[in-house]
Amino acid sequence: MKKLDKQVGYTSMPLSEIEKWYKQLNKEYSLNLSKYGVKFPERNSIKALWLIFLRKNKGTLVHKDTISSFVASIKPNAGKDQQVRHLASDGWYILNKGDKIPNKKSTVPSGYHVLITTESPKPTFLFNSLKRAGRIAAKNFNELKAVYGFRCASCGSKEGEPHFLEPDKKTQLQQGHMNPSKPITLDNLIPQCQICNQSYQDDFVFDMKGRVVAVASVKPVLKAEKEIQDEILNKLQELRERNLP
């Protein structure tokens, strides 16, 4: 990852460029972030300046003194101790000291910040927001998994961790078909571990909480005890007679 070290006095930006980045950020925010409850800083605020500098250097580790120096070039009275890390609590995908860098083995060194993207909020912020909003907010299967806390809707095993019932296996979450007689769309899916998904096959209908609410094939009926089968048969005959003209 690129790195912008501590440099003081060389970081000013023309006001027109600052305005350009602010508008750009506002556009990206409205498109990608506002719906998740990310906070947008006020024009001319110190927070806005931090964000503008990080946005200009997106994907680059920037030393905090460099950011402060840029802020001081606009606002000479701004304090020395600027808490850029707060932008991450506002939902921006900004990594601070010790945060793991995605797809890299390293973490952010002390004194640095980096803006990863403006296309999505910080993952932990996104997951909390999805959890609050529920299934309706999920736009893809990965976000749907986040709503369920990355757990199997039926047995609760957590993705990547040992399975509750078969601890020698790592839990993988698959697309569980809620109602197998309807198409596989996001609103007809629940995350299910490989073990639940395979053992239920397409024989059952599930509710949003991963509970069986109906049979989706005759197989479970054929496997049932004779008394149950007789009961089903009687019940169905009763229903049929009632519905006859």
**Judged by CB under 5 A, which stretch of 29-37, 109-117, 148-156, 226-234 contacts Zn ion?**
148-156
Per-residue DSSP letters for 185-205?
-GGGEEEEEHHHHHHHTTSEE
Tokens of 25: 């950020």
The residue among 19 and 166 lying less far from Zn ion, judged by its C-beta, is 166
The residue among 69 and 154 lying less far from Zn ion, judged by its C-beta, is 154
The residue among 41 and 176 lying less far from Zn ion, judged by its C-beta, is 176
Q: Where are the alpha helices (DSSP H) in 63-193?
A: 64-74, 86-89, 123-133, 141-147
Question: Rule CB under 5 A: which of 167-206 touch Zn ion?
Answer: 193, 196
Shortest Cβ 189–Zn ion spacing (Å)? 14
CA distances from 217 to 151, 200, 205, 210, 220 (A): 26, 11, 9, 18, 7
With b for 16 or more beta-carbon neighbours within 10 A and e for fewer, the 115-148 pattern comes to bbebebbbeebbbbbbeeeeeebbeeeebbbbbb
Our finding on whether 154 is near Zn ion (CB under 5 A) is yes
Instruction: Judge contact between 172 and 159, C-beta under 8 A.
Output: yes
Question: Rule CB under 5 A: which of 205-244 touch Zn ion?
Answer: none
Shortest Cβ 170–Zn ion spacing (Å)? 13
Shortest Cβ 159–Zn ion spacing (Å)? 11
The residue among 85 and 158 lying less far from Zn ion, judged by its C-beta, is 158
Considering only residues 48, 146, 152, 178, which one is a binding residue for Zn ion as defined by CB under 5 A? Answer: 152
The residue among 11 and 192 lying less far from Zn ion, judged by its C-beta, is 192
What does the CA dihedral 54, 91, 108, 139 come to, rounded to 10 degrees? -100
The residue among 62 and 173 lying less far from Zn ion, judged by its C-beta, is 173
Shortest Cβ 95–Zn ion spacing (Å)? 33
Show Cβ contacts of residue 201 under 8 Å, excluding neighbours closer than 6 positions: 219
Binding-site size, Zn ion (CB under 5 A): 5
In the complex, which residues of this chain contact Zn ion (CB under 5 A)?
152, 154-155, 193, 196
